[in-house]
Structure 1
Amino acid sequence: MNKKVANPLQPANVQFASGGIQCSAYLYRPAAAQPSPIIVMAHGLGGTRKMRLTAFAERFVAQGYACLVFDYRYFGDSEGQPRQLLDIQCQLDDWKAALNYARSLPDIDPKRVILWGSSFSGGHVLATAASEPELAAVLSQCPFTDGLASTLVMNPVTSVKLTALALRDRIGAALGKQPIMVPVSGLPSETALMNSADTIAGVTALTQCDPDYKNHVAARFALDIIRYYPGRNTPKIKAPVLFCICDPDTVAPAKATLRHAKRTPRKEIKHYDYGHFDIYVGDAFEQVVQDQLNFLKKTVPVY
């Protein structure tokens, strides 16, 4: 007889090492403690695990899936200095470390590990899955797939301002100075990494879940984003992938995402008439999480 978890919706706070730094995570376990599938999850650009990822995890764990929901180094409750440093390679290393940690856990089936990413992390899970042939499945929600496509949706004046700040920050870092910060989200008239018309309202709805959220990152990241193309990895992914694409997406253009998604060997593509930030809350959340559960039940059923 399987032992029971007292409250599967009350996660344990855990840590795992990545690059000598401790990353903090929530570990959710389903009610029946048996070798179960596990979903590894992290947020998008500058986000933390508290910003509605727990809502997705609660739905998944209620259906028998364990969930590991982590903060990247330098963000949220994880360690690392300087704070708010968004380093793409470090974040990809954190995904690998989280994956290895998930596989090592007791009462987890290491052959049924699933990656779940949204926005910027929706690209990270594609890049990670391309080099992890043993994954059971991947869920990529409104994913960032193409650095050029995402850069071109931005006002050219804003791009120039961000580049100037990024260069100053990169030079300052080489001289041992403190990071120059830029806002993650802002109004269309403001200099920010995301400043589409729906950004402020969308991010505000998410940050209400994390009172400690900081709306800035080290500016040097702006030099890296245009050189990051996780969508190019899709032909190498062996696991089945669910793409949840927001057709009117103002941050991660759907046209580029769809082009990369179609090149994935084993894919299912769902389209939504919602904006980039809408699918975390309300009716949009209900629709997308149900589609994700349907996909999971087909590809990685709970025994």
Structure 2
Amino acid sequence: MGKSLNNVPQAPLDVQFDSHGMKCSAYLYRPATEATTPIIVMAHGLGGTRRMRLTAFAERFVAEGYACLVFDYRYFGDSEGQPRQLLDIKSQLEDWKAAVAYARSLDKIDPNRVVIWGTSFGGGHVLATAADDNRLAAVISQCPFTDGFSSSMAMNPITTLKLTGLALKDKIGSMFGAKPVMVPLAAPTGHTALMNAPDAYSGYLALMPSGSNIPNYVAARFVLDIIRYYPGRKTSRIQAPVLFCVCDTDSVAPSKTTLRHASHTPNHEIKHYADGHFEIYVGEAFERVVRDQIDFLKRIVPVK
């Protein structure tokens, strides 16, 4: 009998862990077993929260016998932090390290079989995290942000100028205690937003749970940090096996750049999908990618 029949997912626990004096909220999924298991630590991308389709992936993984810790970054979702919707790269990388440390501390979890899974901006974060943590068992990087310059160049130049102006206003205002200047995460083409490609707005809305009111904006100062973030440059230092799930028509994280950085990873696999950046979370595209990810997990970090 296969593991997927023996490990009917239990309802996740709502847990918290500390990250630099603040609490990050997370769902902790455990398979129905008394045995010690691997665990997959998961988080979203640009402004995303655990409620935006990450639970769909976690439910599939836990059905195969893997525990999952699905967390919200500080300043987002159910985690602590003020001001809200502050996307700070340094803080998010700290949250990843704190989440991994917490996962390793849990009972009935093998601390040497921790996998990290990130998507979009989180797909870049897992690369940066893995470069600094040689104990990780594996990495799954889905439609990852790898290169600040390439992603910035994917934006319309006029949009980039508008966003930069708002970012400067927000940054300067923050020095004097002003309220954050917010910018939309996703908007229709022609509107000012961090993501406004033709597939961005409808794709982003498709990730939202029915009836949710998850904010579709972040503090504008983040724009000043995008161009300086290059997690793909750290791939040569990653010792764990990495699965790159690449959307060939990605409008947010250009696939050509991702593939270039992936090629420098010592132990890597690449799966290609003829889907856009947002399609991979739902429908048939979701089924394809989660099937490939489970195959990778079973081969690299099998449940004993």
Which interval holds the TM-score relative to the shorter structure?
over 0.9
How many Å separate the matches in 2 of 1:263 and 1:133? Answer: 17
Question: Aligned runs of 1:204-243 on 2, under 5 Å?
Answer: 204-209=205-210, 211-243=212-244
How many Å separate the matches in 1 of 2:180 and 2:259? Answer: 35
Deviation at 1:207, TM superposition (A): 1.2
- TM-score (normalizing by structure 1): 0.97
Code of the residue aligned with 2:249 in structure 1: it is: P
Q: Does 1:195 align with 2:216?
A: no
> Which digits, 9 at most, give the CA deviation of each residue in 1:91-122, with x for residues without a partner?
00000000000000000000000000000000
Code of the residue aligned with 1:79 in structure 2: it is: E
Deviation at 1:188, TM superposition (A): 1.4
Code of the residue aligned with 1:271 in structure 2: it is: H
Q: Where does structure 1 lack aligned partners over 5 or more consecutive residues?
A: none
Q: Match for residue 3 of structure 2?
A: none
How many Å separate the matches in 2 of 1:120 and 1:154? Answer: 15
Q: Match for residue 145 of structure 1?
A: 146
How many Å separate the matches in 1 of 2:103 and 2:69? Answer: 7
Deviation at 1:210, TM superposition (A): 6.7
How many Å separate the matches in 2 of 1:207 and 1:162? Answer: 24
Residue aligned with 2:123, SS: helix
Q: Match for residue 279 of structure 2?
A: 278
How many Å separate the matches in 2 of 1:14 and 1:6? Answer: 21
Residue aligned with 2:206, SS: helix
Deviation at 1:187, TM superposition (A): 1.2
Q: Match for residue 15 of structure 1?
A: 16
How many Å separate the matches in 1 of 2:239 and 2:161? Answer: 39
Contact kept? 1:242, 1:268, Cα under 8 Å: yes
Identity %: 67
Q: Match for residue 299 of structure 2?
A: 298
Q: Does 1:91 align with 2:72?
A: no
How many Å separate the matches in 2 of 1:166 and 1:136? Answer: 38
Contact kept? 1:41, 1:68, Cα under 8 Å: yes
- Count of matched residue positions in the alignment of Structure 1 and Structure 2: 299
Contact kept? 2:7, 2:64, Cα under 8 Å: no
Question: Aligned runs of 1:101-250 on 2, under 5 Å?
Answer: 101-209=102-210, 211-250=212-251
Q: Does 1:28 align with 2:29?
A: yes
Residue aligned with 2:45, SS: coil
Contact kept? 1:9, 1:58, Cα under 8 Å: no
Distance 1:6 1:282, change over 3 A: closer
How many Å separate the matches in 1 of 2:56 and 2:111? Answer: 24
Contact kept? 2:119, 2:143, Cα under 8 Å: yes
Code of the residue aligned with 2:252 in structure 1: it is: V
Q: Match for residue 68 of structure 1?
A: 69
How many Å separate the matches in 1 of 2:9 and 2:290? Answer: 18
Code of the residue aligned with 2:115 in structure 1: it is: I
Deviation at 1:208, TM superposition (A): 3.0
How many Å separate the matches in 2 of 1:137 and 1:209? Answer: 33
How many Å separate the matches in 1 of 2:256 and 2:149? Answer: 12
CA RMSD in angstroms comes to 1.2
Question: Aligned runs of 1:259-274 on 2, under 5 Å?
Answer: 259-274=260-275
Deviation at 1:161, TM superposition (A): 0.3
Contact kept? 2:61, 2:294, Cα under 8 Å: yes
Q: Match for residue 55 of structure 2?
A: 54
Contact kept? 2:51, 2:209, Cα under 8 Å: no
Code of the residue aligned with 1:266 in structure 2: it is: N
Q: Match for residue 254 of structure 1?
A: 255
How many Å separate the matches in 1 of 2:10 and 2:271? Answer: 27
Q: Where does structure 2 lack aligned partners over 5 or more consecutive residues?
A: 1-5
Contact kept? 1:50, 1:209, Cα under 8 Å: no
Contact kept? 1:52, 1:209, Cα under 8 Å: no
Contact kept? 1:51, 1:209, Cα under 8 Å: no
How many Å separate the matches in 2 of 1:6 and 1:15? Answer: 24
How many Å separate the matches in 2 of 1:249 and 1:138? Answer: 20
Distance 1:210 1:67, change over 3 A: farther
How many Å separate the matches in 1 of 2:88 and 2:54? Answer: 21
> Which digits, 9 at most, give the CA deviation of each residue in 1:98-156, with x for residues without a partner?
00000000000000000000000000000000000010000000000000000001010
